[in-house]
Chains A and B, each alone.
Chain A
Amino acid sequence: MARVLLRVPTMTEKGSVIEIRALIQHVMETGYRPNAQGELQPRDIIWTFTCRYGGEVVFNATLSPAIAANPFIAFTTIATQSGPVSFTWEGDNGFAQTETRHITVT
């Protein structure tokens, strides 16, 4: 499992716009870099990132080799209700990881 650093408010007011930040450990090998033998190293990237809030997709991004190693993504969403917020990264070589946090809306 890749190490993940998420910044998600745990408690917030209903209707407020919250910023979420997600950082995950991943090489994001571009597929354009030669190794020591001069052969191209195969591409190994995360190509999609999805945030679900109360089960509903509220943000989705498609990544490319131009995203820096250890991808960082920030976006906003409206705090609608208390519940789970999940984050899913999927990529080459079967990479798939989901993390869940809980938001309390008052």
Chain B
Amino acid sequence: MKRIALALFACCSIASADERRSGLLDMRPEAQAMQRDDSMNPGMLWVLDGEALWGRKPTPAAQSCADCHGDAAASMRGVAARYPAFDQASGSAIDLAGRIIQCREAHQAGPPLARESKELLALSSFVAHQSRGLPIAPPEDTGMRAVRALGQRIYNTRMGQLDLSCAQCHDDHAGRRLAGSSIPQAHPTGYPIYRLEWQGVGSLQRRLRGCMVGVRAEPFAYGSSEFIAIEAYLMERARGMALETPAIRP
């Protein structure tokens, strides 16, 4: 079966493995232009939605995000660059979307925010957008070290009916083409992204589910410790790279 594997990854350029590049640069110039110019980037519509939600009370008695956090440009600057983070209260890692869900529950007592709901994606996009251009800076604490190690283990484990690991595609064959699309290095620089395929905005975990379904593996659940661990490992791998939210991806 080795021959088939070779055929699958056949042809085209081979990026050298030690050069990190955002998936932005793997796209054709038109798609790059769509991301770089806010007036053409549909992901900005979700950012604007998030901005409106930031200032709105979910129930008349509750406080808005802005009531507690003030101007997001100051209070949320750099926050997305250091998530997932260790949550002392629960003793486990939490991703940015999970933190926003928690704030809604604990501090707003409002209707819960569902994973991948339009509201949560809008708020996540708005918060992450405040870090656009800032380098990814995962926290150094020991709690996160174990989480990242788990993420790395999953990343290197073969899975699904195709029996492929994330690393086989994204480390060993990044820069080559798989059927119609080129294989990116899997840096989580632009999330939530506007994915052309979805014709809408989605989270990193939705993107990861796509890759898992692609190798015919049972995807982890949204918000699961496995997904948060992979996310933490990917952020460490991308340490220092600039955040792009809202990115466009094919």
Are A23 and B39 touching (Cβ within 8 A)? yes
Any A CB within 8 A of the CB of B12: no
Any A CB within 8 A of the CB of B48: yes
User: From residue 34 to 92 of chain B, which have CB atoms closer than 8 A to chain A?
Assistant: 38-40, 42, 44-46, 48-49, 52
State the Cβ distance, B195 to closest chain A Cβ, in Å: 11
Any A CB within 8 A of the CB of B199: yes
Contact A72 B42, CB 8 Å, known A3-B48, A5-B48: yes
- Chain A residue numbers with a CB within 8 Å of B214 are none
Secondary structure of the B contact surface, majority rule? helix
Count class of interface residues, chain A = 10 to 19
Docked CA distance A69–B38 (Å): 16
Docked CA distance A21–B34 (Å): 13
Are B45 and A5 touching (Cβ within 8 A)? yes
Q: Which residue of A lies closest to B42 (CB)?
A: A70
Are B40 and A70 touching (Cβ within 8 A)? no
Any B CB within 8 A of the CB of A27: yes
Are A5 and B49 touching (Cβ within 8 A)? no
- Bits for A11-42, please: 1 = Cβ < 8 Å to B, else 0: 00000000001011101000000000000000
State the Cβ distance, B108 to closest chain A Cβ, in Å: 22
Are B44 and A5 touching (Cβ within 8 A)? yes
Any B CB within 8 A of the CB of A101: no
State the Cβ distance, A7 to closest chain B Cβ, in Å: 4
- Bits for B8-50, please: 1 = Cβ < 8 Å to A, else 0: 0000000000000000000000000000001110101110110
Docked CA distance A70–B200 (Å): 8
Instruction: Pick the residue among A3, A23, A24, A27 that contacts B199 (CB under 8 A).
Output: A27
Are A21 and B40 touching (Cβ within 8 A)? yes
Are B48 and A68 touching (Cβ within 8 A)? no
Docked CA distance A31–B3 (Å): 43
Are A72 and B45 touching (Cβ within 8 A)? no
- Chain A residue numbers with a CB within 8 Å of B45 are 3-5, 23-25, 70
B residues near A (Cβ < 8 Å) are 38-40, 42, 44-46, 48-49, 52, 199-200
A residues near B (Cβ < 8 Å) are 3-5, 7, 21, 23-25, 27, 68-70, 72
**5 CB < 8 A contacts A-B:** A4-B45, A5-B39, A25-B49, A70-B42, A70-B199
